[in-house]
Structure 1
């Protein structure tokens, strides 16, 4: 068994990290930093294709964090053209000032991710000595990804999300608690508040809800470092 320190930052999608906030991340000495779907989104883009023009600015801010934080950054998401020339919603993975890889969203939101194509990248990664799965937004509903996780015996899954469901706060907790128990996984979800949209970051495990933001924190920035015990996924 290994203990993995995972820092999650429930962060307003439109606000940059300040030097003090980056220092707070650095001091956590976590192995991973998770940022919400849609972070960073600093520009008033009219469409995903327009937002893709700012790809470098988004990535530069993640690299700014990486100057101080040595762990793996799962850096929210932004729109970009992939190697096939398709517009996708992509999650950049950064470590030690290097943009290591991308995870591409496989289940675009019909109302938000306009003009984007389903991604074709792997959903399972090995970094920081950990083997883990990634879900971005609506990927949570993608059964083919869950089948892959089950086949590969994935124990820990990171869900970078933005809330667009009709579930109440209590229903959300019940849903994630049931999901983690049924699939026997550690499921860590991070969201970001934006324009009145709630954020409900949480950590669910087979034993239940281990941590959650409170109802009064749904519209606030919240930083939390979690200690997660993994048995199968840690690689010595």
Structure 2
């Protein structure tokens, strides 16, 4: 068994990290930092294609965090034209001032991801001594991805999300708790705050809900460092 330290930052997706917040992340000494879907989004873009024009500015801010934080940064997400010229919603993966890779969203939101195409990257990564699965937003509902996780024996899954306001706080907790128990996985979700939409970051494990933001924190920035015990996924 190994203990992995994972920092999650429930963050307003329109606000940059201050130097004080970056120092807080650095002092956590975590191996991973998870940022919510849609972070950073500093420009009020009129469309995903317009948002893709700001790709470099988004990535530069992640690299600014990486100057102090030596672990793996996952997220949040932004629109970009990939190497094949497809407009996709992409989750950048950064470590040690290097943009290592992208995870591309496979299950699009028809109301938001306008003219965006389904991604085709792998959903399983090995970084920081850990083999893990990634889900971005609506990928949570993608049965094909979940079947792949089961086939490959993935023990820990990171869900970078935007909370869906059609569910109650209690329903969200119940869904994640049930799934983590049924699939015998560690499921860590990080959400961002924006425009009155609640943020419900949480950590569900086979034993139940290990941590969650309270109802009074749904509209607040919350930083939390989790210690996760993994059995099968840690690579020496």
Q: What band does the TM-score fall into relative to the shorter chain?
A: over 0.9
Aligned to 1:171, the other structure's residue is in SS state: helix
Q: Say which SS state the counterpart of residue 73 (structure 1) adopts.
A: strand
- State the match for 2:200 in structure 1: 200
Q: Deviations over 1:37-81 (max 9, x none)?
A: 000000010000000000000000000000000000002000000
* Partner Cα distance (2:197, 2:169) in 1: 13
Structure 1 position 147 matched with structure 2 position 140: no
Match of 1:186 in 2: 186
Within 5 A, what are the aligned runs for 1:195-234? 195-234=195-234
Q: Distance in 2 between matches of 1:235 and 1:61?
A: 30
Matched, 1:50 2:50: yes
Determine the structure 2 residue equivalent to 1:77.
77
The unaligned stretches of length 5 or more in structure 1 are none
Is the aligned partner of 1:108 residue 2:108? yes
Q: What root-mean-square deviation, in Å, do the aligned CA atoms of Structure 1 and Structure 2 show?
A: 0.5
- How many residue pairs end up in the alignment? 236
SS of residue in 1 equivalent to 2:54: helix
For each residue in 1:7-45, what CA deviation from the matched residue of structure 2 results, as whole angstroms up to 9, or x when unmatched?
Answer: 000000000000000000000000000000000000010
Shift of 1:164: 2.1
Q: Are positions 1:175 and 2:175 aligned together?
A: yes
Is this contact kept in 1: 2:165–2:198, CA < 8 A? Answer: no
Q: Displacement of 1:165 after TM fit?
A: 4.5
Q: Which aligned runs of 4 or more in structure 1 are off by greater than 4 angstroms? A: none
Q: Whole-Å Cα distance in 2 between the matches of residues 202 and 174 of structure 1? A: 11
1:49-68 residue pairs with structure 2 within 5 A?
49-68=49-68
Report SS of the residue matched to 1:134: strand
Partner of 1:7: 7
CA distance in 2, matches of 1:153, 1:164: 28
Q: Secondary structure at the match of 2:21?
A: helix
Separation of aligned partners in 1, 2:164 and 2:83: 29
Q: Is the 8 A contact 2:39 2:192 kept in 1?
A: yes
Please name the residue that 1:98 is paired with.
Answer: 98
What secondary structure is seen at the aligned counterpart in 2 of 1:116? Answer: coil
Aligned to 1:22: 22
Distance 2:62 2:165 in 1: 28
Instruction: Find the aligned partners of 2:212 and 2:47 in 1 and give their Cα distance.
Output: 32
SS in structure 1 of the partner of residue 9 of structure 2: strand
What's the TM-score, normalizing by structure 1?
A: 0.99
Equivalent residue, structure 2, for 1:133: 133
